[in-house]
Structure 1
Amino acid sequence: MENDWENLTDPILLNIFSLLGQHELNIASKTCKNWYRVAQDESLWKGLAFKTVGSRFTLSNVSWKSELKRLVYHTPVHLHQTCAEHEDEVYNVCFSNSGQFIATCGLDGHVKVWKFGETTELLHSRKVVDPPSYVNYVEFNESETHLLLNCMTGDDGWTSCLLAVLSLEKDFAVVAARHAWFPNFRGTWLNDNTFLNADVLAYFFSNDNVKLVACEFDDHDLVDPELLERPLQDHLSDNNVDMRCILEIRRFEYRPHFAKVIDWSEWNQDSAAKRNEDSEEANIKVIILYQQSLEWNVDCRIAFFKVDVDSEVPSTAEPIKIVIVNSGCLGVNLSSDHRSITYNLRTIYEDGDRSWYDREVATMVINLANLEEKPEIFSGIRSLEQSSSLLYFFPNISPDYIVSGSEEYYAVLWDRRLKLILSKLSHQLPDPDAQNGVSAVAFHPRDQEVVVSVADDCKLRIWMSSNRKRQMQSS
């Protein structure tokens, strides 16, 4: 009988091995040298890869076995922990630069900071505004000492937007706050103690220039416990914020929405001309600005502005690059290495006096290291209905994966190499008829095998690969 097994030809062994799963095939390969040799045949692992993903795809310069291992063991599709400290819908989530902390915010007016680990724990919580006001955006500064917030405040049908800064070193106190003209601008960090705001000097619907303002704050003198307990609104009149206009933009056609900032040294890194330029311009930034058209029949655009943030004279230069998108923007995020930026977009349609956003959502990736590349488009998300307004949900990007929220109860995870949906990360409510959108997602900045998501179910959910879960449990 042993001789019969030893005498099986390669085609017969391949046919038998093709019926095995990945685990069984690995066990069979340990039987003898001959079986090990046959078990390494790429056709076997190619078939298993197709079964795992549920679709056929092509590979270049990668073995099917290693690709299957990545898809099975290194993709963050397993729910590791659910955190349920929020009392209402959660609108945004982000990691700190080191990946040690997670920040969340939402409809309950709370901002929370969590310590990430095998068991993620709540560190700080503050109710910044009272409902119906809410917080819909959070972002750590680079040194992880402060949080930038976007707050929607108001009642009786009137809503205003505020940008505020919380200190993680001063008992989670509000240390600065300023009005913002454009609710969807949301603000972003220029450096550790300076954030970017958008302003206009006249009435909101005028054609005055939009001014992008660097707001530098100083909280070193804020040591009085009573001052640290002051509510957000009381900080609007403080003089501890130095505001300087760094960029003026003509406002005849566009208003500013989502903004991100990268250093000039990170811009278009694959360009030979760029590599030959002076790399010591630390004060030069590229402001990446999604600009919403004021008219439905004018294309919206993503504009890239080169700005000297230390200049006393604001820049009025035209964008150094423009990407036209006839779409409304639902959310944007930079990759942790600042080499890619990704947008969720819904195409705008017009028919006579009627205009609307298409149901299809395109997740678009722009390679900032080489702007000559055509943007990548990932599909698979649909809004619940055609509409004349937008619901916001944010994407995120890592070297191998893209993940995005949606208007439904799940986040969508794509593989960037294969251009395929790998999984839908569920936030299903107990009531199957309840609407439960996933508002935002974020990869760990130093570990793409960890991703977090927040949704209308009031939960923060942490997803990991099987490889990362096993490592955490063993440590």
Structure 2
Amino acid sequence: MEVAGASLLPDSILYQIFLSLGPADLLSAGLVCRRWYQVSRDDFLWKDLFYHHYQVQRQIPRYPGSDSWYEEFQRLSDSAPCVEVERLREHTDEVLHVSFSHSGELCASCSKDCTVKIWNTRHPMSLLHSANMRHHHWNYTQFSQFNSDDTLLLVSGVFVSGVFAGQHNSSAGEIAVFSLDGFNLLSRVRNKPYDVFGCWLNSTHLISGNLHRMGRVTSCSVLWLNKAFQEVESENLNVVKRLFKIQNLNANSIRMVMVADSPDLLAEAGDKGVGVEQSPAEPAEVAEDSAEEEEDGGAEDVSRRDLVGEDAQIAAALQFLVDDPAEDQQEAPQPALTEEQFETKVAQWYAKYRTKQADEPQVSEGSKKYLIFTTGSLTYSPHQIGIKQLLPHQMTTDGPVLGEERRQNEFFDSLDHVINIHGHIIGMGLSPDHRYLYVNSRSWPKDCVISDPMCPPPIAEEIELRVFDLKTLREVKEPLRAHRAYTPNNECFFIFLDVSRDFVASGAENRCGYIWDRHYGCCLATLPHDNVVNTVAFCPVNQELLLTASDDYTIKVWRSRRALRCPQELLRPSPWSASYDT
């Protein structure tokens, strides 16, 4: 069909007409006649429309592997899971976390109602199991993760204990392991602080944490490898094994531990990267290590005399710190150190004599595993990312029984790398290939100085979603923005993000979840709730299925427009299968 007079219009006029239309109208206009159809598929037209509609910086090239800008517009419009299709209301309190099994057939949810629920992800989603952890003295469930073969589920919970360093509640927690065959409780593992969360190292072993107080602002974090099945087959076999012992300064501690596994990790990192520094030597724990101390929750606070009593060199160095003689007697005397400052100085000097040198990097042709976690050195809010390689002998609890390496365990481990984030870290997530680390952070004011570890700088309301290449340890791209948070430092909580092949999503305190395209960095969708959105999760086998969970007690299920047009495609992989390349 031809429209009278349409052939008389030059293409430039048709371009202007089409540019004044919206994307949907433009597609419809292409059905008017063959001439209009040809112009409506013009790649220059769709390129302009793409950059304008998605507000993408023009220096960003087209997605690798795509054939046209029209195809790219269709991909972003059709495949992002932005249409709400279900709302699950079975929880009776704030929902804090959701996670998928690797097969995508199951998902788990954790809530302040102290339950963990298992769902079948078929459309519509149905509840399969629910376990209430209240009778285990938990206050709430906060995190879950399926093991690699989807036979076990790790669930992390909180039971309220004391206050660490006086700045905010630092509750002890516990990790429970459930069998997905019958949903039976297999084991329970102590976890302190609770926001270590815990994670799987492999299909049978999980990582937990413990915290030992050494003083008011100094502590020791110990990371443990635990067997999921806690049976004791022999007195010479372990169900738990110490991985690392790391000293914490200025009221900070290790939190939010995850495992990265990729052959490219740190392959081009060198000694330093942009925004990355080698960690300083880590001070040693002074209190005696023993199984009894682990069960009691760590050593008691120690005095100045306890910290230096056995080492004359350290004692002399500390005396120098106290006296602080100035080379130039005309200079004004330095102000006296506060208790916290003195304690930090003690720990820093003690570290020089009680820290093991880092092991030589392991060179192998296969994958290398690294622990990635939040930490800090200036104040109690997490503002650094620590990286520590796991060596082959640390992948299993087999080996000498606990206590045989006591002398070695008197020393602290140093970190391999530290990434400095100038702000409060409130979430992290790995890309599916573990190449890229995405970090939610709330920035500190520029050029701020921290003089008191108990008084961190104010944090921005705008959340920055930053991207780091774990091959080079460099930050790549501009931070992704759109989401916001309002709680101050001492009330700040984790907002879980997730990364799929093409997209990254995050919750926020402004009652919405958000989806961005990883390549173009543009925000594709806003996913509304009635309260804070705590977590998001992509289905690992189909990125066009997304879950969001909120303080409004609900879990929402989001699917793409393409999936709704083709219901038989709901659980099939997306047709856009090109690998992401930053």
2:547 match: 452
> In the TM superposition, what whole-angstrom CA distance separates every residue of 1:98-154 from its partner, at most 9, and x where no partner exists?
211111001000001111122111111111126881011111111111111221114
- Partner amino acid, structure 2, of 1:459: T
Which runs of 5 or more residues in structure 2 are unaligned? 164-168, 271-361, 400-404, 571-582
Distance 1:318 1:35 in 2: 66
Q: Secondary structure at the match of 1:248?
A: strand
Deviation at 1:299, TM superposition (A): 8.4
Letter aligned with residue 178 of structure 2: L
Shift of 1:64: 2.9
Give the structure 1 partner of residue 424 of structure 2. Answer: 328
Residues 246 and 308 in structure 1, CA contact (< 8 A), matched pair in contact too: no
The AA in structure 2 aligned to 1:444 is: C
Closer, same or farther: CA 21–336 of 1 in aligned 2, 3 Å: same
Q: 1:99 aligns with which of 104, 109, 112?
A: 104
Aligned to 1:394: 496
Q: Is the 8 A contact 1:104 1:113 kept in 2?
A: yes
* Partner AA of 1:9 in structure 2: P
| Change in 2 beyond 3 A, CA 1:437/1:3 | closer
User: What's the counterpart of residue 386 of structure 2?
Assistant: 303
Map of 1:249 onto structure 2: 246
Moved more, 80-89 or 325-334: 325-334
Mapping 1:21-60, distance limit 5 Å: 21-46=22-47, 48-49=49-50, 52-53=53-54, 55=55, 57-58=57-58, 59-60=60-61
Q: Which residue of 2 aligns with 1:342?
A: 438
Which letter maps to 2:565? Answer: R
- Give the aligned partner of residue 466 of structure 1: 561
TM-score, with normalisation over the residues of structure 1?
A: 0.82
State the match for 1:165 in structure 2: 177
User: AA paired with 1:196?
Assistant: I
Structure 2 CA distance for partners of 1:372 and 1:407, relative to 1, 3 Å: closer
Q: Deviations over 1:295-335 (max 9, x none)?
A: 36x98311111122534577965333221113222222222
Secondary structure of the residue aligned to 1:49 is: helix
Deviations, residues 326-380 of structure 1 (Å, cap 9, x unaligned): 3222222222222222222123466766533332322222222442454752222
8 A contact 1:391–1:407 mirrored in 2:
no
The one-letter code matched in structure 1 to 2:190 is H
* 1:16–1:377 CA distance, 2 compared to 1 (3 A): closer
The yes-or-no answer on 1:179 pairing with 2:185 is: no
Distance 2:439 2:378 in 1: 20
**2:500 maps to 1:442:** no
Aligned pairs for 1:396-411 (under 5 A) are 396-411=498-513
In 1: Cα distance, 2:364 partner to 2:237 partner: 34
Name the structure 2 match of 1:119.
Answer: 124
d(CA) in 1 for partners of 2:191, 2:508 = 27
In the alignment, is the contact (CA less than 8 A) between 1:344 and 1:363 conserved in 2? yes
- Distance in 2 (CA, whole Å) between partners of 1:176 and 1:205 is 33
Q: Contact 1:140/1:148 (CA < 8 Å) preserved in 2?
A: yes
Alpha-carbon distance, 1:68 to partner: 1.4
From the superposition, tell whether residues 132 and 185 of structure 1 become closer, same or farther in structure 2 (CA, over 3 Å): closer
What one-letter code is carried by the residue in structure 2 that aligns with 1:242? V
Partners of 1:203 and 1:91 in 2: CA distance: 32
Over residues 224-278 of structure 1, what are the superposed CA-to-partner deviations in whole Å (9 max), with x where a residue is unaligned? xxxxxxxxxxxxxxx9971101222233454101111123635246789xxx942
TM-score, normalised with respect to structure 2: 0.68
SS of the aligned residue for 2:239 comes to strand
**Which residue of structure 1 aligns with residue 263 of structure 2?**
265
**What is the deviation of 1:207?**
4.8
Aligned length: 445
Residues 292 and 328 in structure 1, CA contact (< 8 A), matched pair in contact too: no
What is the SS of the residue equivalent to 2:414? coil
CA distance in 1, matches of 2:373, 2:443: 18
Deviations 1:385-416 (A, max 9, x none): 54433122111122322211111211122222
* 8 Å contact kept, 1:186–1:257: yes
Aligned residue number for residue 374 of structure 2: 290
Root-mean-square deviation (CA, aligned residues, Å) is 3.4
The residue aligned with 2:357 is: none
Taking the aligned partners of 2:540 and 2:207, their CA distance within structure 1 comes to 22
Instruction: Supply the AA of the counterpart residue of 1:335.
Output: S
Q: Are the equivalent residues in 2 in contact too, given 1:329–1:344 (CA < 8 A)?
A: yes
Match of 2:521 among 419, 428, 431: 419
In structure 2, the CA distance between the partners of 1:299 and 1:126, relative to structure 1 (3 Å rule), is: closer
Partner SS, residue 332 of structure 1:
strand
Distance 1:299 1:217 in 2: 29
Structure-1 residue corresponding to 2:201: 190
Aligned to 1:228: none
Give the Å deviation of 1:86: 0.7
Residue type at the aligned position of 1:183: Y
Q: State the percentage of identical aligned residues.
A: 25
Which one has the bigger strand percentage?
Answer: 1
Note the alpha carbon deviations across 1:11-30, whole angstroms, 9 max, x for none: 33333333444344334434
Aligned-partner residue type, residue 481 of structure 2: S
Aligned to 1:236: none
